């Protein structure tokens, strides 16, 4: 296993919309796993440009074990009212636009990390990231990579308790021992697996002080999670997909009946 780690500098406000918040358009404070995957797939497609974009997305997701991001500096989130075009052709004096709320965030620096099964695809992505234009969440939010794109060793560890600064999967069985965070629903992947593309609950280690979100850490005790150590970076927590696969097989059998 190899990890890809790099720091991004935000060149403007960013808005990574939480999927089910259309009217209010709430934003995540950091890119969710699906946004990180999309960023890498987009960079790889722009760099090589010899396949359909979805093929690059599938290639990355097939090799990916885990993806995440964390704040390295404080983040501020503000709500604004924007005007959205709701129809292009109508008879006056009907209304063509609608006022819709939207949140925007800004943080000076965010760390992106991914874990892949082997190093071959990692080397390709490193080249792509150094050349391709990158955005955070949408095409209106350009970003710049600071310093180098690092390739790190990764180890699955058997410790029972770790402390991490990265978002972690959260459920009723999760044992949080210490720390602060906010709960968000996130997509782990961009493409459907089997029959579903569902949102998973994540706990993001941040703490709000006087309206500003600051990076934090969370101490967690193992229940059904997998713990990984990215060399010289941080511990990360991944959901154990074996139990999920068993559940999906049972669901498929029931539907066939």
User: What are the tens digits of pLDDT across the range 158-184?
Assistant: 999 999 999 999 999 999 999 999 999
3-state secondary structure of 46: helix
**What interhelical angle do 33-48 and 120-131 show, nearest 10?**
80
The answer to whether domain 2-86+96-240 has CATH 3.30.70.3120 is yes
Confidence of residue 243 (pLDDT cuts 50, 70, 90): low
Q: Which residue has the tokens 């990574």?
A: 16
Neighbours of 211 (CB within 10 A): 8
- What is the reported pLDDT for 102? 86
Residue 113 has pLDDT above 80, yes or no: yes
Instruction: Report d(CA 146, CA 112) in Å as an integer.
Output: 11
Residues written for the chain: 257
pLDDT digit string (tens) for 44-103? 999 988 888 889 999 999 999 999 999 999 999 998 887 777 666 666 666 667 777 889
How much is the pTM? 0.86
């Amino acid at each position: 296993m190899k990890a890809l780690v790099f720091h991004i500098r935000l060149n403007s406000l960013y808005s990574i919309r939480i999927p089910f918040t259309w009217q209010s358009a709430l934003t995540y404070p950091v890119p969710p796993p699906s946004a990180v995957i999309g960023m890498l797939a987009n960079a790889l497609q722009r760099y090589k440009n010899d396949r359909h974009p979805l093929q690059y997305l599938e290639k990355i997701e097939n090799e990916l074990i885990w993806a995440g991001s964390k704040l390295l500096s404080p983040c501020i989130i503000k709500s604004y009212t924007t005007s959205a075009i709701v129809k292009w052709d109508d008879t006056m004096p009907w209304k063509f636009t609608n006022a819709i709320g939207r949140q925007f965030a800004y943080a000076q620096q965010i760390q992106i990390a991914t874990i892949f099964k082997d190093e071959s695809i990692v080397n390709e992505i490193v080249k792509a990231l150094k050349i391709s234009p990158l955005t955070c969440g949408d095409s209106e939010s350009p970003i710049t990579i600071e310093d180098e794109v690092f390739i790190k060793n990764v180890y699955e560890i058997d410790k029972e308790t770790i402390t991490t600064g990265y978002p972690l999967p959260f459920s009723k069985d999760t044992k949080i021992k210490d720390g602060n965070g906010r709960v968000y629903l996130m997509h782990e992947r961009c493409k459907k697996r089997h029959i579903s593309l569902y949102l998973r609950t994540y706990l993001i280690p941040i703490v709000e002080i006087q309206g500003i979100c600051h990076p934090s850490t969370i101490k967690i005790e193992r229940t059904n999670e997998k713990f990984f150590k990215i060399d010289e970076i941080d511990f990360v927590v991944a959901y154990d997909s074996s139990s999920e696969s068993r559940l999906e097989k049972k669901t498929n059998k029931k539907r066939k009946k």
